[in-house]
Amino acid sequence: MSINHSGIPRTTPRQSATFTQDINSEIRRAAATGIYDIRGGGAKRKLPTFDDLLFLGASISRYPLEGYREKCDTNVTIGGLNAANPIHLEIPITIAGMSFGALSGPAKEALGRGASEAGTSTTTGDGGMTPEERGHSSKLVYQYLPSRYGMNPNDLRKADAIEIVVGQGAKPGGGGMLLGQKISDRVAQMRNLPKGIDQRSACRHPDWTGPDDLEIKILELREITGWKVPIYVKVAGARPYYDTTLAIKAGADAIVLDGMQGGTAATQDVFIEHVGQPTLAIVRPAVKALQDLGMHRKVQLILSGGIRTGADVAKAMALGADAVAIGTAALIALGDNDPKWEKDYNKLGTTSGAYDDWHEGQDPAGITTQDPELMKRFDPIEGGRRLRNYLKVMTLEAQTIARACGKNHLHNLEPEDLVALTMEAAAMAQVPLAGTDWWPGKSGSF
């Protein structure tokens, strides 16, 4: 215990739980610059997650399947409701939309290579389709975004599916952002904008508003593409029951639902951390909407936002998703935030694992940059191999859990296989609190 100069014992210096060091540093930064903090990635705050759920596994009442021997299928077909050519995936883990511009050309190539080798799809982003990306992706989903950067009917017809992006988990209600540092000649040309300016994409589509318009927009896209490819609708996890209902009503073949842990190339930190809902909280309302309309398993649900492991995949599917999408995790598999670049991260005032200034284009790993020198650090063939390995491990992990629960297909996992560790997770996932047969809000409970 310290003593002051009068000999009176002093209380220990006490940090405020309200004005934390993090908060104080942000206040000082805001006061110095006059601009909100912009960063990449998804929500970093502590949230209820799939980690708050456990699988029960087999017992006397359920018998398991033999690991490595008995069949446990992982395939999924997306878009069979209306499209002549639905997408058949070998694994239910897809690569989420990430733009050329936000990512380097080689990074997009690596995503295509890895996804194709693993038997799944990758997705364009807010910047159009590059030939490299199309060439290296056996199944490519073309995003149809409010900005319509690079949108053209020729690329639309090259796509294996079209994803109409209404919202993104990191920023429900916000548009994309690509700051001037990353606007190279090629990026500028693809987006029809001057080099070096801050590109702030529109937050809503320019030529439709509301579900009735969306239905007609989907009709137009189907007519242009001859009713051949599936049309997904991507929404942020804001109002999942109603958004899923309205997307189905509008004629979507699949719903992509993105929770607030889902990443973005760049947006305001306040947006990432304070708008939207955790991925755990959004899946059951969306599944209920599908079930209420008799469309569960007919219109596929692709869940994204903080999916990291095969356990996350299995839990998402047990709660009713048909597939998942990964973005941030895929970038980490490629080499993003790798400790081997620690000295370079330190020079940028950060550390590996925490680096999120993707918008500045100085990524030491050479992934979220358009700097030719930094891009040389990234090998798309090696990156693709790493992504393939990671996708295969996730799949094996999910199969391990499914077999332990006695399921011969990942789609056969069900909420009954799960319990929750916390009251919050029990309420959100609508599965029993561990050791009970109860969850908050369960019909018949108090």
Partner 1 sequence: MQTYDLANGSLRELNATLHAQNKTTNQTSWKIINPRGAHAIACGLDSPIEVAIHGSTGYYSAGMNQHATVNIKGSAGPGVAENMMSGKVVIDGDASQYAGATGHGGLLVIKGNASSRCGISMKGINIVVHGNIGHMSAFMAQSGNMVVCGDAGDALGDSCYEASLFVRGSVKSLGADCEEKEMRPEHLEILRELLVQGECDAKPAEFKRYGSARTLYNFNIDNAY
Residues making contact with partner 1 (CB under 8 A): 33-35, 147-148, 151-154, 156, 180, 191-194, 196-198, 202, 206-208, 213, 216-217, 219-220, 223-227
Report, in Å, the least distance between residue 201 CB and partner 1. 9
If you search the block for the tokens 């589509």, which residue do you land on?
205
The total of other beta-carbon atoms located within 10 Å of residue 432's CB is 18
Q: Which residue has the tokens 């079209």?
A: 162
Q: Give the amino acid at 378.
A: F
Shorter beta-carbon distance to partner 1: residue 49 or 147: 147
Residue 102 DSSP label: T
Angle, to 10 degrees, between the axis of helix 380-404 and the axis of helix 105-118? 40
Q: How far is the CB of 204 from partner 1 (least distance, A)?
A: 11
**Choice between 224 and 354, CB closer to partner 1:** 224
Q: What is the DSSP letter of 64?
A: P
Helix, strand, or coil (residue 446): coil
Give the residue with the Cβ less far from partner 1, 128 or 285.
Answer: 128
Closest to partner 1 by CB, 197 or 381:
197
Q: Measured on CA atoms in the order 388, 390, 396, 398, is the torsion positive or negative?
A: negative
Q: How far apart are CA 23 and CA 41, in angstroms?
A: 19
In the complex, least distance from residue 97 CB atom to partner 1, rounded to whole angstroms:
18
CB nearer partner 1, residue 195 or residue 376: 195
- What is the spatial distance between Cα 306 and Cα 261, in angstroms, rounded to a whole number? 5
* Contact status, residue 118 vs residue 385, Cβ threshold 8 Å: no
**Residue among 31 and 60 whose Cβ is closer to partner 1:** 31
CA 157, CA 284: separation in Å to the nearest integer?
A: 34
